[in-house]
C-alpha cells in the first residue's frame, strides 16, 4: 500500500498542496503543481510561501528545505474547507433535477450527455491511461470551477506527474482552470477532497460495475399500518446469528443518519431502530436489518444471508469506488421521463 513514510520532500510537497487546495487561490495552486511536476520543487514552495495556505510546523520545515530564508504566514493546521459541491454544473437548467451523487460509468447516455461534456471526456481519457489509476470523480464547486479527484494505486512519488498529465488534458480541452486532486490509495484525503467526492459524479473506474442490490427489510408494507414482518418470518439463533451480526455491523458506511424509526415488533419501545446504510460492495442494507436480527432473531433477506455465507461471514474490503456506487444507487433517479431526456 502506498505510504508517505520516509517519502522524499517532493512527495510531501504534493501532500501539502492537497491540504492547501480550496484555501489558496486556484491559479496559485495550479502554478505550484505545474512547477512540482516539472522538477522545480523550489518553485512550488515559493508559490506556497507567497500565497500561504494554513501551515503547521511540519509544513514550515518542509518549505524551509527549499526556501531557508522564507517566513511564510499562516496559522495551524488543516481547517475544514467551507466549499460545497454538486455532481453537475449548478448553472444548468436541469441541475435541480439531478440526484446529489452520480455514477456516470454506467449511466444511460442521455444522463451522461447532460452531466458531462468534452472537458470531462478529456480528463477521463487521460486518467484511464495512467498506470495504477483507480477512479476519477468530478464535482462542481459552489463558486464556479469543476474539481477532479483522482485515486492512484501507485507510489506517492508518482502523484505529482499524474496530476500534471490530467491537468494538461484539461487545459488542452479548454478548461478555464485545471483543478486535479490526486491521492494514493490508502493514504487518505483532506476534508476538501473528501467533500468533493461525497457530492461528485464518478466519471471513470478501473473496476467493472457489479450490480448493487438494495436489501429488503420487511415482508410487507401497508399504506395505512406501515411495514411489518410475516408471522412465519425465518428466525436465526446461535452461532450463525452472531456471525451474521458481525457481518452486518462490519459493512462499509455508505450513508449515515441519526434518524430512528419506531420498532414495528414492539411499538411501545418507540423510535429506537437505526437507519444508516452499509455495504459489502454487492449489497446495501440498513442498520435496521441488524437491529431486528439482534433484538428478535429475525433473519435478514435470504440473498444477503447467502452472500455472508459465501464470504465466510467476513466483509471484503470495500473501496471508495464501491461506496460511491452504493450511494449513487440509493439516489438513482426512478422517474420514467427525467428532465434531461427532453
DSSP-derived secondary structure for 70-83: ------SS-PPP--
Q: For the chain, how long is the longest CA-to-CA vector?
A: 77
> Which tens digits make up the pLDDT trace of 15-70?
999 999 998 999 999 999 999 999 999 999 999 888 766 677 788 788 888 888 76
β-pairing, 102-103 with 201-205?
parallel
Q: What is the pLDDT of residue 102?
A: 94
Whole-prediction pTM: 0.89
Helix (H) or strand (E) holding 302: helix 302-310
Q: Summarize the chain as % helix, strand, coil (round to 5).
A: 40, 15, 45
Element (H, E) at 152: strand 146-152
Alpha carbons 284 and 318: distance in angstroms, whole number: 12
Could you tell me the sign of the dihedral formed by the alpha carbons of 180, 186, 192, 196, in that order?
positive
Supply the DSSP string of 198-226, one letter for each residue: HT-EEEEESSPPPPPEEPP--SEEETTTE
- What residues contact residue 96 under an 8 Å CB cut-off, 6+ apart? none
For the chain, the domains span 9-70+83-205, 213-330
Question: What is the distance between the alpha carbons of residues 276 and 254, in angstroms, rounded to a whole number?
Answer: 8
Helices (H) and strands (E) in the chain, counts: 12, 14
CA distance 137 to 104: 10
DSSP letter, residue 186 = T
At residue 54, the pLDDT reads: 63
Its sign, for the CA torsion 29, 32, 36, 38, is positive
Per-residue pLDDT of the chain in tens (342 residues, 90 and over written 9): 677 777 899 999 999 999 999 989 999 999 999 999 999 999 999 998 887 666 777 887 888 888 887 665 544 444 545 799 999 998 887 777 888 999 999 888 888 888 899 999 999 999 999 999 999 999 999 988 999 999 999 999 999 999 999 999 999 999 999 999 999 999 988 999 999 999 999 999 998 777 799 999 999 999 989 999 999 999 999 999 999 999 999 999 999 999 999 999 999 999 999 999 999 999 999 999 999 999 999 999 999 999 999 999 999 999 999 999 999 999 986 654 444 444
State the Cα–Cα distance between residues 161 and 21, nearest whole angstrom: 17
Cell of 271: 423510535
Local structure of 142: helix, strand or coil: coil
44's CB contacts (< 8 A; 6+ apart) are: 13, 17, 32, 33, 35, 36
Residue 183 phi, psi dihedral angles, 5° rounding:
-130, 160
Amino acid at each position: 500500500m502506498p505510504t508517505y513514510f520516509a517519502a522524499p520532500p517532493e512527495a510531501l510537497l504534493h501532500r501539502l498542496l492537497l491540504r492547501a487546495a480550496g484555501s489558496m487561490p486556484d491559479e496559485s495552486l495550479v502554478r505550484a503543481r505545474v512547477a512540482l511536476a516539472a522538477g522545480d520543487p523550489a518553485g512550488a514552495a515559493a508559490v506556497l510561501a507567497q500565497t500561504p495556505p494554513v501551515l503547521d510546523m511540519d509544513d514550515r520545515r518542509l518549505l524551509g528545505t527549499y526556501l531557508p530564508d522564507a517566513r511564510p504566514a499562516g496559522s495551524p493546521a488543516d481547517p475544514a474547507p467551507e466549499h460545497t459541491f454538486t455532481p453537475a454544473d449548478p448553472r444548468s437548467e436541469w441541475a435541480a433535477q439531478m440526484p446529489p451523487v452520480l455514477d456516470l460509468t454506467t449511466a444511460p447516455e442521455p444522463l451522461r450527455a447532460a452531466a458531462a461534456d468534452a472537458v470531462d471526456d478529456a480528463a477521463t481519457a487521460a486518467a484511464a491511461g495512467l498506470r495504477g489509476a483507480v477512479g476519477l470523480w468530478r464535482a462542481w464547486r459552489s463558486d464556479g470551477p469543476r474539481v477532479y479527484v483522482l485515486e492512484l494505486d501507485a507510489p506517492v512519488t508518482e502523484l505529482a506527474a499524474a496530476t500534471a498529465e490530467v491537468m494538461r488534458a484539461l487545459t488542452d480541452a479548454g478548461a478555464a482552470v485545471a483543478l486535479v486532486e490526486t491521492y494514493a490509495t490508502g493514504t487518505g484525503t483532506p476534508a476538501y477532497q473528501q467533500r468533493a467526492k461525497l457530492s461528485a459524479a464518478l466519471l471513470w473506474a478501473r473496476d467493472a460495475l457489479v450490480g448493487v442490490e438494495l436489501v429488503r427489510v420487511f415482508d410487507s408494507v401497508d399504506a395505512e399500518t406501515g411495514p411489518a414482518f410475516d408471522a412465519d418470518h425465518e428466525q436465526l439463533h446461535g452461532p450463525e446469528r452472531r456471525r451474521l451480526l458481525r457481518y452486518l455491523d462490519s459493512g462499509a458506511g455508505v450513508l449515515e443518519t441519526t434518524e430512528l424509526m419506531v420498532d414495528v415488533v414492539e411499538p411501545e419501545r418507540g423510535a429506537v431502530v437505526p437507519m444508516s446504510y452499509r455495504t459489502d460492495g454487492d449489497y446495501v442494507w440498513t442498520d435496521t436489518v441488524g437491529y431486528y436480527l439482534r433484538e428478535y432473531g429475525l433473519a435478514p433477506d435470504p440473498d444477503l444471508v447467502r452472500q455472508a455465507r459465501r464470504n465466510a461471514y467476513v466483509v471484503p474490503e470495500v473501496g471508495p469506488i464501491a461506496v460511491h456506487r452504493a450511494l449513487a444507487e440509493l439516489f438513482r433517479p426512478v422517474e420514467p421521463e427525467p428532465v434531461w431526456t427532453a
